[in-house]
Structure 1
């Protein structure tokens, strides 16, 4: 168990890239490398022996099968991974603590990216060494314990359909094949983390750099179709949309050059003409052979669009390897690319192992000369050819150990390796080689926001971007204070930025809609944030409140002065005229009217809200009732002077008191009904003022408030009418003219009050009502009592009976 996992870990640690079939043999490590064209996958079969041989040499022997032509070119792809595998086996075999009494070996077979060849190689793993006899084994010491399938999903699928019959597990270091409903559950163990974790990592990478306008190129395969159907919608949900989505053709031996040029030219035009500076590439291990056509095509005469810098983001499945004839092609298009790779740590002893390999000898390595010959254009004599052959699952499910590099290795319940992804920055050197720099990480567990990390300063971007972070947006960001307006027929990443309507804000970039502030806040000038409203009411401390208080107290003191003067001259004719009782009642009610205005100033309380409108309504009704009574008394007094008039019995205090009491009682009843049904109460008004929260009194019932005002208006109109009709009566005992003017002022004030009150808001509504109270009360005080006060104080000689009685001529 531990052997297989360490073996897997070392493959994982050094980015196993090409799909190989490797078979582990017991006594020696012989690897019959079938000569192949460079797109073939390798399949690795692991075999363990019951007897331990401590001095087992590690040898690779390239042995072509008889069916293959000798002239086929040997190109060992991803040779470093074969070395990593050999190093792992060697480390396991020399450590007696890992697999006591067992020795690991392996065999390597080529799949040729062909179902028939893959099935044939898999059957070889299940047969006796060197004998292709299906379902027959005579070698009891060599047991096939597992198979490491191809990096490409299609190869792994063909291998699995046979291995599943024998219940032999397959270890995958690429994507698991897409299964249809009729496919039985195959035994896959993925030595790659969950692909969904990689998708989340890519999404967070895009969100981190605010790349919301990207292009996507995928392989024409089942896995790519699953990626398009499941992952790309997730990107769209997070605000990423796609400038283009292109499918690259499958690369096979039968691919014609013309078809490759035609498809490549189409994709080249899409990529290079797009405003999207980021391209996401999802493909199989051999997809790089197709991508390398893009810079090659740009040199052709009929290609219109010249290459420009792009940030390529690649998935862990895609290997940066090329075909033999492409090794001199320009790879600078991928300079600065960001690639996801299975998380790994360096193993120092592996580097020493690699340095110890000598191309001059093929005793232990049948691949090394082929690799050197293709990589460095060396010429070697043909190596010796030898052979070795092939060859159990129960240990894999519960495997868990720490590798020599310090990584914990285990599988989850789905048979997927519990590991994260590294984010790799690819830097192209002058010799067209790739230098891989680890710049970030997508951890295997925890919330995606915490698992994702990246070091921006460590990234080298494509020279096109002058080492500044690329921007990949269809439309620039909409600044706070504006919102996105979608363009008809365009992807949702393409939009116009429109200012927020009045009363709404957007506090972040790229908001899809503006929204209102809370009731306690109001929008800023630029409509990009909310400002708390200030709490306001008509206060005693503010200038307006102080002015109104001063005015009310001044009028109240003036009224007190008039009352005092009248009381001092209580028995004079001018005071006695027109009913002293009504005079004093009117003065006291006016004094209370002036003082009632003070109830409207200050922070609204339950008591003040309950009293201020009703108290003023009743008191002012008493005042107007007194004026009405005075007017009626004047008329009746004139009529009573006529000979034989029956009006004498109506002239007197009883009638005056009855008028005042009745009219005031009606107003009191209205106020009591108001209190009983919907009384006024303190209220917090958050909506009437844009920048303020107004503390005021809600009138409770608007109709009852209107009834109170309407009744006072009715009394004023009646008083004005009677006084107007009596204005031309003889001057003796006649206050009708003064009452007419006072009622005219009163009606004018309250008629103008209604539109003014309705057109103002907040505390100024209260100020308007206070001013109306003071103005109307002052009108009554001035026009009715100022002439009498003037005679009493300044013209006392006129305050006698002879002056008041004029003979009728």
Structure 2
């Protein structure tokens, strides 16, 4: 009564997550006191049935010493009734039988029968089952679970809650189950685990893959035979990274399965160059509207690769919408929830859209004998199997309602069948009306020769997980019942908490030779990688092209048929990859996968596609025109074979030749009074120094080396000082001669005799020699590669390591030149018949000519003045 009162105060319209939290808070407390009493659970069941409407009342059961419960979503989920907030919420009954779920149900039945046939696992104990349709509704799943755990028959009608006539109280119809196999949805699994957690009832799910369910503190009674979605989402992320899909879209179901999968995917692709263009969510109850919205998003997106984390019924609706829009050029990546769906594979309406699907699938396996078991199913031998009857009517188009008129097929079915009285008869009025509109079955219909997805057991996935769950439960029971006589549990009185303790230690080898064990709630992660490929016959076929083992991806890329029906991997990018010679520049406010391509700057290169940065070239290299490679810089120096070098060489040689000619004339006439009167020794020395000044400019032309750099500075400094010293001494001598003609100055000339003149020149020159010797010994000029602003050109020059030394050389030369000029200025007004005075100006003029010839050669030695061109100026 307490629960009924609570139900009456619940808000009229509840979301799934609100409903879950409300159920957990209210029912978990009530169950602690009520679950052990049939009456208490009956109140809960009746209240739930009244509140939310009645689910399907079909069940499948077999009696036994120990009964295990099964919760399977056998039907499609109907659209929700629009709530008007003036009456209690109500769900319509489920319709549309799901073939995969039907196969799951019979996989559970087959596993139980197989265990019972072999006495090694549970000797002396017969295992039974009771399978209920939960219809994917949280309230109905809760109602079914409470009915199974409490030993109630589980239906909302009197027919469904009445056990078969041959069963005794406490058997399949009324015996509490200590363990549940089911809860295919993660949200349902969370709900049931929290509700049944205080009762320590183990739950083994075959499809609930939410990573959150691995938390043993929150869900200590939960186990599963499917890997956590962490591994699936990571495998899909690694596929995107492997195939360089930088721009992808995502469609996901609006529940834990979809949201957690995309969260793991986003965590895995972080910093790996993969971005999501959009994320569209769909809700199963509004799938028509949501599928169209998602299809429009896919059509508008530039992403060519679309991830889908949805149930196959949702995906089919989406593909139908895309087919209407003629969107057939997308590469879809499938989650395990729909990657093996025969309903989509065999549908011609979606084949163009679905061609080339690449997906992660639950690992496949075979169950020996299961195909024969399925093919031998027949309503004649299972008259109370409402699920089989519904399937029969759908596939053969005949009614199984009047089963009394059935006759056995002409060839007897060779299969073990359940006792007909083990299954309650469905009695819905709607079903009776539908059956009346179909012709009665003749009884000759059979699955033995029919090619149908239901009987295809070549790649069992979800069904094999159900099979494993039954064996895990059986081994836990075996461990529990294998005990000393004093501590043995009776099969009729097994406590769920005892079974839960033994579930944690399950470790066995399956009949197929596979090692099975639980790691907490989980099993080791294994998946198949599948590809939907076109066939000449028309329908798509499922091809296994690899597998996932834990975090390892094993893929045969050459076996993949893409959506383009070729072997070329689809390209899905927001921006085309930057070609070599450029770098990417991210667009402000957009994902990192959207960028522009910027050419590399001078001296930088990128030699790979999609380079995020340009790399600078080494100092002695430069980028080529395409900015894809570094090439050695062009070495530049003043050479003898270029125009400027030839011009300077010609000028220097010409000056030296003229000076030599004058020297030869002076030598020839050295005994004449004119030569002798002009101080022949200083004249010869002056002409020799002038010649050296002309020739020293030649050492600045050519490739600089260690010795050439040292010699050119010394030759420059010493030759010019020698020349200027000669001029200076000659000027002093002229002035002294002029001054000695005055009275009382006769003794002045004795200080300026030939010896003194030579000594003075030597003294002046020796000072420069000493300066050059110290400079070149301490910090001499060295060859240097000057990259400067010449781009691909490297200027080879002699670098001044010591500015002080070079300044002293030039400063001393300037001091002598200034002194000589000052004295020459005083001698400018000497009488015209004083020939030496007249030639002072000529000597200084020769010095200036040599200086003009030297300075351009010296300044131009680091590089040629090529910027004084129209092309260079216009390029600025």
**Shorter-chain-normalised TM-score: which range?**
0.5 to 0.7
Alpha-carbon distance, 1:444 to partner: 1.8
Q: Do 2:637 and 2:861's aligned partners in 1 also have CA atoms closer than 8 Å?
A: no
Larger deviation, residues 348-357 vs 205-214: 348-357
Match of 1:209 in 2: 243
1:357 counterpart = 2:376: yes
- Residues 204-353 of structure 1 correspond to what in structure 2 (within 5 A)? 204-232=238-266, 234-235=268-269, 237-249=271-283, 251-252=284-285, 255=286, 260-283=287-310, 287-297=311-321, 305-318=325-338, 321=341, 330=350, 332-344=352-364, 346-347=365-366, 349=368, 352-353=371-372
1:416 counterpart = 2:522: yes
Match of 1:769 in 2: none
Structure 2 CA distance for partners of 1:504 and 1:164, relative to 1, 3 Å: same
C-alpha separation in 1, matches of 2:59 and 2:734: 126
Q: Do 1:295 and 1:330's aligned partners in 2 also have CA atoms closer than 8 Å?
A: yes
Match of 1:657 in 2: 759
Match of 1:499 in 2: 599
C-alpha separation in 2, matches of 1:70 and 1:502: 73
- Uncovered stretches (5+) of structure 1, i.e. residues with no partner: 1-19, 41-67, 763-809
Match of 1:111 in 2: 134
SS in 2 for 1:218: strand
**TM-score, scaled relative to structure 1:** 0.68
Show CA shifts across 1:729-754 (max 9, x none): 64644653542232121221344356
Structure 2 CA distance for partners of 1:685 and 1:193, relative to 1, 3 Å: farther
Query: Given the alignment, which residue of 414, 419, 422 partners 1:386?
Result: 422
Match of 2:531 in 1: 425
Structure 2 CA distance for partners of 1:722 and 1:119, relative to 1, 3 Å: same
Q: Do 2:640 and 2:646's aligned partners in 1 also have CA atoms closer than 8 Å?
A: yes
Q: Do 2:731 and 2:840's aligned partners in 1 also have CA atoms closer than 8 Å?
A: no
C-alpha separation in 2, matches of 1:720 and 1:369: 129
Query: Given the alignment, which residue of 498, 511, 516 partners 2:611?
Result: 511
RMSD: 5.4
Match of 2:7 in 1: none
C-alpha separation in 1, matches of 2:647 and 2:515: 81
Match of 1:17 in 2: none
C-alpha separation in 1, matches of 2:587 and 2:578: 14
Q: Do 1:171 and 1:191's aligned partners in 2 also have CA atoms closer than 8 Å?
A: yes
Alpha-carbon distance, 1:550 to partner: 13
C-alpha separation in 2, matches of 1:761 and 1:200: 63
Structure 2 CA distance for partners of 1:655 and 1:459, relative to 1, 3 Å: same
C-alpha separation in 2, matches of 1:231 and 1:207: 11
Structure 2 CA distance for partners of 1:634 and 1:194, relative to 1, 3 Å: farther
Match of 1:7 in 2: none
Match of 1:152 in 2: 185
Structure 2 CA distance for partners of 1:275 and 1:78, relative to 1, 3 Å: same
C-alpha separation in 1, matches of 2:219 and 2:69: 31
Q: Do 2:72 and 2:184's aligned partners in 1 also have CA atoms closer than 8 Å?
A: no
Q: Do 1:338 and 1:425's aligned partners in 2 also have CA atoms closer than 8 Å?
A: yes
C-alpha separation in 1, matches of 2:245 and 2:390: 43
1:126 counterpart = 2:149: yes
Query: Given the alignment, which residue of 73, 76, 97 partners 1:38?
Result: 76
Match of 1:475 in 2: 575
C-alpha separation in 2, matches of 1:22 and 1:561: 130
Structure 2 CA distance for partners of 1:166 and 1:725, relative to 1, 3 Å: farther
C-alpha separation in 2, matches of 1:555 and 1:701: 31
Q: Do 1:171 and 1:189's aligned partners in 2 also have CA atoms closer than 8 Å?
A: yes
C-alpha separation in 2, matches of 1:579 and 1:743: 19
Larger deviation, residues 150-159 vs 619-628: 619-628
Structure 2 CA distance for partners of 1:373 and 1:507, relative to 1, 3 Å: farther
Show CA shifts across 1:302-352 (max 9, x none): xxx55343211122234665999x9786454222211111333x4373575
Structure 2 CA distance for partners of 1:161 and 1:551, relative to 1, 3 Å: same
SS in 1 for 2:76: coil
Larger deviation, residues 650-659 vs 71-80: 71-80
Show CA shifts across 1:481-530 (max 9, x none): 22334445554434443433333322222334434223343212111233
Structure 2 CA distance for partners of 1:38 and 1:537, relative to 1, 3 Å: same
Structure 2 CA distance for partners of 1:626 and 1:178, relative to 1, 3 Å: same
Alpha-carbon distance, 1:235 to partner: 3.3
Alpha-carbon distance, 1:719 to partner: 4.6
Alpha-carbon distance, 1:612 to partner: 3.8
Match of 1:619 in 2: 718
Query: Given the alignment, which residue of 541, 544, 547 partners 1:441?
Result: 547
Match of 1:793 in 2: none
Show CA shifts across 1:432-487 (max 9, x none): 965211223344245xxxx3534144314256xx7754332333332222233444
Match of 1:644 in 2: 743
- Uncovered stretches (5+) of structure 2, i.e. residues with no partner: 1-57, 79-90, 156-160, 162-168, 404-419, 425-491, 867-876
Structure 2 CA distance for partners of 1:534 and 1:168, relative to 1, 3 Å: farther
SS in 2 for 1:78: helix
SS in 2 for 1:636: helix
Larger deviation, residues 679-688 vs 189-198: 679-688
Q: Do 1:628 and 1:719's aligned partners in 2 also have CA atoms closer than 8 Å?
A: yes
C-alpha separation in 1, matches of 2:170 and 2:248: 58
